[in-house]
Amino acid sequence: MRNIEYPNMKGTYLGEFEELILLTVASMAEDAYAVTIKDEVQIIAGRKVNISAVHSALYRLERKGFLTSNFGGATQKRGGKKKRYFHVTNAGYEVLRIAKDMKEQLWKNIPQLSIVTY
């Protein structure tokens, strides 16, 4: 296990891509490692991403404490290398929730669309 720094106020900021990745990991529940996350993002968001960008985001999120990881499942396909499975931490869910609330608040504030409710 890598050292994890505790999130601080500065660290709660989420970039758009980071949020997307974090959400994807949250939605995948199981079998979330870089390659599958990348595929999932491609399917859901419909945009091509490079694996290095996914790595970058994942490790940054891990450092911020929104993700945690454990090793498992080496396959021959991977040249015998282990996979790093990611899971969303409580802090991760919290920051996603904050982001969602903030957006909903903003949506509510838009006058024309105020009739739309969940």
Interacting residues toward other proteins by CB under 8 A: 2-3, 33-35, 50-53, 55-56, 59, 71, 74-84
CB crowding 38-61: b at 16 or more within 10 Å, else e: bebbeeeeeeebeeeebeebbbbb
Distance CA 117, CA 108 (A): 9
Of 77 and 111, nearer to other proteins (C-beta) is 77
Of 2 and 100, nearer to other proteins (C-beta) is 2
Give least dist CB 104 to other proteins, A.
Answer: 33
Of 1 and 106, nearer to other proteins (C-beta) is 1
Give least dist CB 29 to other proteins, A.
Answer: 19
Closest CA to 64 of 115, 114, 116, 15: 15
* Residue 65 backbone class (left: φ over 0; alpha: ψ -120 to 50; beta: rest): left
Give least dist CB 51 to other proteins, A.
Answer: 5
Distance CA 8, CA 31 (A): 29
Of 9 and 48, nearer to other proteins (C-beta) is 48
Give least dist CB 1 to other proteins, A.
Answer: 10
